[in-house]
Amino acid sequence: MLWRMLRGSWRHRRVRLGVATLSMLLGAAMTSALINLSFDVGSQTGRELRAYGANILLLPRGASLTPGGTREGRGIRERDLAALDGIPAVVGYAPSLYLVADVQGRPLAAGGVVFERLQAMSAWWRVTGSWPAAPDEALLGVSAARSLGLAPGDRIAIGYHDAKRELVVAGLVETGGAEDNQVLVPLPVAQALAGQPGQVGLVQVSALVAGQSLVEVAGAIEARLPDIQARPLRQFAQAEESVVAKVRLLLALVAAVVLGVAALAVGSTMFTAVVERRAEIGLMKALGAAERRVAALFLADGIGVGAIGGLGGYAAGLGVAALIGQQVFHATLQPNPLGLPVTLAVATGVALAASIWPVRQALAIDPAVILRGE
């Protein structure tokens, strides 16, 4: 019988209930998007930021970093770096050995690098020509190329003390950073020039931070490589954590506001219903309806609005989350298994909470109104 009554009353008031359900659906959609995104947004953002370069720097223990970011040093053995492969959070690393060389007769910072490794971590570098592939090819910074008057395909002479090598410029690189005024050469070339075979001065590490902090990853690296100090790059550590936190906070705020609005919409719909159905409620009481039956009728409205809005909102929110994942983080979304139950519970809970006051009003209606007429 309760079902028959609900069916009748819902059909009767479908427009109003539809509006309330729709606003609940919006609230639920935000909730669902929040849950599905925040589950994955940590690793999403970590992976995304990795494309912007290294977030940990490895230096020989006791060494310090000179302001230009270049350093002539010794102390890290290239073969020790294999240990980095055993740390799951480390997704890439690029060793380098810097020296101030004599390039075409001028002093210029020359960095010995492993090009494949560097390229994987430097997605935003703009290279005209191509990345060096052969052991005698170099990558020249755009500013250096301009002042030296060199273009891709030209030969370039690099000397250091008494050693000297001749390479081919494979491409010009523009990063907006120090590299624009450097020449990058294959690591073995730099090692040979410096007379430090098998040695590197500096390693850029790209670590994926999902669930653990950059400092923890740095600690793990130091535990495996005792002669090395691992320095998290502050701006990256903060950027990653704050991007995730901000996206979450934003979503949570929007979800809270939209849910609040939805609660108001449901509450006012219910309240209007109580006012309009005054005679009906009075009649039910006059017919001997127990309070819980009257309450059940109105709470069922709330549950119905919450459940339908919650279901629809879950689906819509999943769509929104997938879209944000695509557009903002360039990643496909794994739906959070908690999404459906939590969204349903939140929507139904909010709708029920919004119904409490109207239901109390309904219960307070005096059955004597029914005989007096209105």
Partner 1 sequence: MMSAVVRAEGLTKRYNGRVHALAGVDLTVARGEWLGVMGPSGSGKTTLLNLIGCLDRPSAGRLLIAGDDVTTLSQAELVRFRRNHIGLIFQQFHLIPYLTALENVMLAQYFHSLADEAEARVALERVGLGERLHHLPAQLSGGEQQRVCIARALINQPSLILADEPTGNLDQANEERVMDLLRELHAAGHALIVVTHDPAIGDLADRLIYLDHGRVVREQGLRPLAGGALVR
Residues that bind partner 1 (CB under 8 A): 1-2, 4-5, 8-9, 11-12, 279-280, 283-291, 293, 366-368, 370-373
Least spacing, CB of residue 360 vs partner 1, in Å: 15
Least spacing, CB of residue 355 vs partner 1, in Å: 19
Least spacing, CB of residue 289 vs partner 1, in Å: 4
Q: Which is nearer to partner 1, 2 or 151 (CB)?
A: 2
Alpha carbons 166 and 293: distance in angstroms, whole number: 93
- How many other C-beta atoms can be found within 10 angstroms of the C-beta atom of residue 154? 14
Q: Which is nearer to partner 1, 166 or 366 (CB)?
A: 366
Alpha carbons 349 and 356: distance in angstroms, whole number: 11
- How many other C-beta atoms can be found within 10 angstroms of the C-beta atom of residue 118? 25
Least spacing, CB of residue 368 vs partner 1, in Å: 4
Burial of residue 234 (CB within 10 Å: 0-12, 13-18, 19+) is exposed
Q: Which is nearer to partner 1, 5 or 256 (CB)?
A: 5
DSSP states along 47-73: HHHHTT--SEEEEETT----TTS----
DSSP states along 5-43: HHHHHHHHTHHHHHHHHHHHHHHHHHHHHHHHHHHHHHH
The closest alpha carbon to 308, from 15, 42, 24, 52, belongs to 24
Q: Which is nearer to partner 1, 67 or 288 (CB)?
A: 288
Q: Which is nearer to partner 1, 3 or 124 (CB)?
A: 3
Least spacing, CB of residue 280 vs partner 1, in Å: 6
- The letter for the amino acid at 80 is D
Q: Which is nearer to partner 1, 290 or 338 (CB)?
A: 290
Least spacing, CB of residue 3 vs partner 1, in Å: 11
Least spacing, CB of residue 15 vs partner 1, in Å: 14
Q: Which is nearer to partner 1, 79 or 372 (CB)?
A: 372
Q: Which is nearer to partner 1, 5 or 252 (CB)?
A: 5
User: Which residue reads 């073995």 in tokens?
Assistant: 188
Residues 332, 325: contact at Cβ < 8 Å? yes
Least spacing, CB of residue 287 vs partner 1, in Å: 5
Give the torsion through C-alpha atoms of 173, 176, 177, 178, to 10 deg. Answer: 50
Residues 135, 186: contact at Cβ < 8 Å? yes
Query: Beta strand 126-129 with 106-113: parallel, antiparallel or unpaired?
Result: unpaired
